[in-house]
Amino acid sequence: MHPMIDFKYARKRKELADLMQEKGIRDPRVLAAINKIERHKFIPDSALHSHAYEDKAFPIGAGQTISHPYTVSFQSQLLEVKPGDKILEIGTGSGYQAAVLAELGADLYTIERQKELYDKTTPFLKSLGYTNIKFYYGDGYLGKPAFAPFDKIIITAAAPEIPTKLLDQLKIGGILVIPLDDKQGAQDMLRLTKIGSKEFKREEFEKFAFVPMLKGQAE
Ligand code: SAH
C-alpha cells in the first residue's frame, strides 16, 4: 500500500478517537483501540474506505452493518473489560467490535448467525493476528453453555427481550450489555450486573440504533 494512504488513515483514526472522547468516551484503553484498529479493512466496499473513520454504520453484506464507532466504544466502555475476562459476544458481523474487545485483552467467544459473515470474518480476524478470539456459527440466543459462565456478555443487535439463557450463562458479579428494543424504532442501552443467581442491578443509558437480533441461524 502507498505510504501516503497509510498516513492519511492513521490521521483519520486519531481524529476518530478524538471524536469518541469529545462524545464522552473516557476509557483510555477503548480510545487507544479505536486509534489502532484499521476500520476500513472491516468494510467490504473499498469505495467507502475513505469514509471508514466517520462515526457511521456501513453495509457489510447479508443485509447487516458494521456498528457506529461510538456505539462500539460505548458498549466496550460499559463492559469494563479487564485483561483475561472471558467474554461472549452475540453478533460477530464485521468483527470490528470483536477486535476492540481483543485489543482490551478479552478471552473472546463470538457468535454469528449469518453463515456468509461467519465464513468471511473468521479468517479475516485470524489474519490480523488475533489469537484470543473463538468463532462460532449459530444462534446467539442460545449462548455457549459449554463455555459458561462468562465474566461479560455483549449483544450487538437489537434484542426484543433479554435472553434468559444468556443471563444464566453470566458469572455472579458479571456484566451483560444489551441494546433492548423500545418497540418505537430504537434501543435502550442496558447494563445488567448479576448480583445473585437470579438478581440483577439494572442501569439504563442512552438510545442507539441496531439491526435486529433474530432467532435461529441463516444459511
Ligand atoms: N459486532 C458487529 C455488529 C454487526 S450488526 C460489528 O462490529 O460489525 C449485528 C450482527 O448480529 C449481524 O451480523 C447479525 O447477523 C448478528 N445477529 C443477529 N441476531 C443474531 C443471533 N441471534 N445470533 C448471532 N448473531 C446474530
Which residues does ligand 1 sit against, CB inside 6 Å?
Answer: 64-67, 90-91, 93-94, 96-97, 111-114, 117, 139-141, 156-157, 211, 213-214
Q: What is the pLDDT of residue 124?
A: 98
Give 83 Cα–ligand 1 centroid separation in angstroms: 24
Nearest in space to 152 (alpha carbons), one of 171, 133, 165, 168: 171
First to last CA, the chain: 35
Report how far ligand 1's centroid is from the alpha carbon of 43 (Å).
15
Query: What pTM was computed for the model?
Result: 0.97
| Sheet with 133-137, edge to edge strand ranges | 133-137, 107-112, 86-90, 150-155, 170-181, 187-196, 199-208
What integer pLDDT is reported at residue 5 of this predicted model? Answer: 55
Which of 46, 50, 67, 73 is an active site residue?
A: 67
User: pLDDT tens digits for the chain (219 residues)?
Assistant: 555 556 669 999 999 999 999 999 999 999 999 999 999 999 999 999 999 999 999 999 999 999 999 999 999 999 999 999 999 999 999 999 999 999 999 999 999 999 999 999 999 999 999 999 999 999 999 999 999 999 999 999 999 999 999 999 999 999 999 999 999 999 999 999 999 999 999 999 999 999 999 999 998
**pLDDT at residue 209, rounded to an integer:** 96
Residue 73 appears among annotated catalytic residues: no
CATH architecture assignment, domain 7-208: 3-Layer(aba) Sandwich (3.40)
Using the mean position of ligand 1's atoms as its centre, give its distance from the Cα of residue 92 in Å.
5
Atom number of ligand 1 nearest to Cα 215? 22
Nearest CA to ligand 1 atom 11: 91
C-alpha cell at 202: 439494572
Task: Give the alpha-carbon dihedral of 32, 105, 208, 210, to 10 degrees.
Answer: 120
Alpha helical stretches, state H, the chain = 3-22, 28-36, 69-79, 96-103, 115-127, 164-168
Residue with cell 502507498: 2
Mutate to test the pocket of ligand 1, among 42, 48, 55, 64 (most ligand atoms within 8 A of CB): 64
Instruction: Mention every residue, 6+ apart, whose C-beta is less than 8 A from residue 104.
Output: 29, 30, 33, 76, 81, 83
pLDDT at site 109 = 98
Q: Among 72, 156, 165, which residue has the most ligand 1 atoms within 8 Å of its CB, making it the best to mutate?
A: 156
**Nearest partner of 70 among 59, 48, 54, judged by Cα:** 54
Where do the structural domains in the chain lie, given as residue ranges? 7-208
Residue 219 confidence (pLDDT): 87
